[in-house]
Copies of this chain bind each other. A is one copy, B any other.
């Protein structure tokens, strides 16, 4: 007998596989149509099974943020991994070299000379050089070189290092920042070519603007993570609808202590405090007028007006504001299988890989 959501101990995260597969299929088809390689970011699911489904659908490889995540995926046989992070420190550099010896195509990013210097030292004498892309700040105001000229300078340092290969340009843009990406990258590629450097990859990313990620003649690759599950922030931004949201947190109403107040057994340790600019802590399916107005660690407080909308023992399903940080809180989630076979555990293989 299939395990049904009504019998889960709560809070629990449930993933609808049919929605996942459709999300994967649809964005891969979009990339194929517009001529972009697609490299999914595994931060959202941290699951070997999900990464394989993305690769099977046509992804060129995967994107990780942590060496620990890449180690989990490499151990599962995935052999094209881009780590979009400045790797620093002897312990991490040693792990990175080990990873480079294990998989066919490992690449990382760098945005400063110290990081490039460290990478070159770590890969001295390695069997194959490490591919390094230059991270560019196209408006995201996080990491990244600040100008096309600075990108060229760093690319030259990489290209001049015997153990490194210049792999191209990478950015994670601000929401709505596609025009800036195109302008920055077009200028940087031209400046690289003027210096005799070819730029094999220009990779941008982000789920919010993914449907308008046309190559525009300069991008070669796109990276997105959240698109596989989607979440309330993406519905609010207009990227998807609630029907496209594959992941919910199932919670139980444990108290209705006062009129208009219900308390659920999902707090910040299940839903996280991420607001991403939204009001409230998630969207309760079937209760569009109710709002999760407060979270403590193990309690969520729902405010509502309709009398008797919630009763003790009721199960509710919450689409979280930001799904990536939610799946990081569960050792295992439940996959509601597309073939109707019911729920099965889906381990979060790369959860907790903080380094």
Binding site for B on A (CB under 8 A): 7, 9-12, 43, 65-66, 85-86, 88-89, 91-92, 111-112, 114-115, 137, 141-146, 252, 254-258, 261, 263, 265, 268-270, 272-275, 294, 296-299, 301, 312-313, 324-325, 328-331, 352, 354-355
Chain B residues, Cβ within 8 Å of A330: 352, 354
The 21 listed contacts between A and B (C-beta, < 8 Å) are: A9-B89, A9-B355, A86-B255, A88-B313, A111-B255, A112-B255, A112-B257, A114-B313, A137-B258, A141-B261, A141-B294, A143-B263, A144-B257, A146-B258, A268-B272, A268-B274, A269-B325, A270-B354, A273-B273, A273-B325, A330-B352
Partner of A145, one of B141, B257, B269: B257
> Would A252 and B89 count as touching, CB distance under 8 A?
yes
- Partner pick for A146 among B143, B257, B324, CB 8 A cutoff: B257
CA distance A347 to B313 in the complex (A): 34
When distances are taken between beta carbons in the complex, the residues of chain B under 8 Å from A258 are 137, 141, 146
Q: Known contacts being A11-B355, A43-B297, is A255 close to B312, with CB within 8 Å?
A: no
**Given known A-B contacts A89-B10, A143-B299, A329 and B352 have beta carbons under 8 A apart:** yes
Contacts of A66 on B, CB cut-off 8 Å? Answer: 298
Specify which chain B residues have a CB less than 8 angstroms from the CB of A312 in the assembled complex.
86, 88, 112, 114-115
Q: Is B143 a contact partner of A254 (Cβ separation < 8 A)? A: yes
Which of B9, B114, B257, B301 sits near A92, CB closer than 8 Å?
Answer: B9
For A298, the chain B residues whose CB sits under 8 A away are: 43, 65-66, 85
Partner of A88 from B86, B254, B352 at Cβ < 8 Å: B254
Question: Is the CB–CB distance between A273 and B275 below 8 Å?
Answer: yes
Chain B residues in 8 Å Cβ range of A114: 312-313
5 A-B pairs besides A88-B254, A142-B296 with CB distance below 8 A are A115-B254, A141-B294, A142-B257, A268-B325, A273-B325
What residues on B are CB-neighbors of A10 within 8 Å? 89, 355
Task: State in angstroms the CA–CA spacing of A270 and B331 once bound together.
Answer: 16
Complex partner residue of A141 from B11, B301, B355, CB under 8 angstroms:
B301
Are A324's CB and B297's CB within 8 A?
yes
In the complex, chain B residues whose CB is within 8 Å of the CB of A137: 257-258
State how many angstroms separate the Cβ of A327 from the closest Cβ of chain B: 11
Q: What residues of B have a CB within 8 angstroms of the CB of A111 in the complex?
A: 255, 257
Q: Are A142 and B263 touching (Cβ within 8 A)?
A: yes
Q: In the complex the two chains form, what is the Cα distance from A89 to B301 in whole Å?
A: 19
The chain B residue sitting closest to A299, CB to CB, is B142
CA A137 to CA B65, docked complex, whole Å? 43
Other-chain contact of A9, B91, B261, B329, B331 (Cβ < 8 Å): B91
A254: which of B43, B85, B145, B325 is its contact (CB, 8 Å)?
B85
A254-B299 in contact (CB<8A): no
Residues of B near A144 (CB, < 8 A) are 255, 257
Q: How far is the CB of A209 from chain B (nearest CB, A)?
A: 16
